[in-house]
Amino acid sequence: MHGGGFAMMSAFTPHYDRHARLLAAESTSIVVSVEYRLAPEHPIPACYDDAWDVLRWVAAHSTRDGAEPWLNDHADFSRVFVGGDSSGGNMAHTLAYRVGTIGLPGVKLVGAFMAHPYFGGVEEDDKIWMYMCPTNSGFDDPRMKPPVEDLAVIGCERVLMFVAGNDPMREPGRAYYERLKKSGWNGSVEIVENIGQDPTNENAVALVKKIVDFINQK
């Protein structure tokens, strides 16, 4: 899922589209990009609801009679992953949490990957969050600061996180990682330190390669 602070960009933004295609080709996976509604025109939780609806739509193809023939014919519903960048990384966590608490019949969510996930920590963005989510409870909102009891039940086996040394979102990302490790969740989590979020540099190519390895891990 694309980033943009819940308010900008698109699944069709060139670098997100390019990386989705690269990920599909390198991992021999089917990548479904989520074109979710953006705040403030569509206040939060619209984006979370859209992402959940897309995941449920994918799962509906597990009976092999869904609306998209390519998913019916080629998808492996025993190996489903969710992932995203920045705000999309935050949404990947929320999807994994929903799968763990609500369930998702027909599919097995194996993993979640989060590239520079947004869990607060950037002053200007934090102010925007308060504006985009008029019913929020500030940064005690469990979508921004997931409590340990939520992390203990996320519905996947593996989590891969990327944080960047000079990124102000780094510390909230590391805090998520530490809470997940201590939560009692019965899964494996890995954190990778890299340079930053520039989608055009060599580091971005290495990031995609790491995600490919994560997906293809048996």
Q: Name the 3-class secondary structure at 52.
A: helix
Dihedral-angle region of residue 121 (phi above 0 means left; psi in -120 to 50 means alpha; beta otherwise): left
- Residue 186 domain boundaries: 14-216
31 and 22 in contact (C-beta within 8 Å)?
no
Q: Is residue 208 part of a domain?
A: yes
Q: Is residue 195 part of a domain?
A: yes
Give 128's pLDDT tier (boundaries 50, 70, 90).
confident
* % of the chain at pLDDT higher than 70: 92
Q: Is residue 6 part of a domain?
A: no
Q: Is residue 1 part of a domain?
A: no
Cβ count within 10 A of residue 134: 10
Segment 111-137 mean pLDDT:
79
H-only helix segments in the chain: 14-27, 46-59, 69-74, 87-102, 123-132, 148-151, 170-182, 202-216
Segment 86-98 mean pLDDT:
97
Give 125's pLDDT tier (boundaries 50, 70, 90).
low
Residue 168 to residue 177: CA distance in whole angstroms: 16
Per-residue pLDDT tens over the stretch 41-68:
999 999 999 999 999 999 999 999 999 9
Number of structural domains, the chain? Answer: 1
Q: What is the CATH number of the domain that holds 164?
A: 3.40.50.1820
Per-residue pLDDT tens over the stretch 6-32:
999 999 999 999 999 999 999 999 999
Tokens of 98: 């929903």
Q: Is residue 60 part of a domain?
A: yes
Per-residue pLDDT tens over the stretch 148-199:
999 999 999 999 999 987 787 889 999 999 999 999 999 999 999 875 555 5
* SS percent in the chain: helix, strand, coil, step 5: 45, 15, 45
Residue 99 to residue 105: CA distance in whole angstroms: 9
Give 72's pLDDT tier (boundaries 50, 70, 90).
very high
Q: Is residue 4 part of a domain?
A: no
Long-range contacts at 212-216 (CB < 8 A, ≥ 24 apart)? 212/23, 212/26, 212/27, 214/81, 214/111, 214/113, 214/158, 214/160, 214/190, 215/27, 215/29, 215/79, 215/81, 215/111, 216/27
Tell me what the pLDDT averaged over the chain comes to: 91
Residue 60 to residue 107: CA distance in whole angstroms: 9
Q: Is residue 133 part of a domain?
A: yes
List the 109-115 sheet strands across, edge first. Answer: 80-85, 109-115, 158-164, 188-194
Residue 188 to residue 84: CA distance in whole angstroms: 18
Residue for token digits 């599919």? Answer: 107
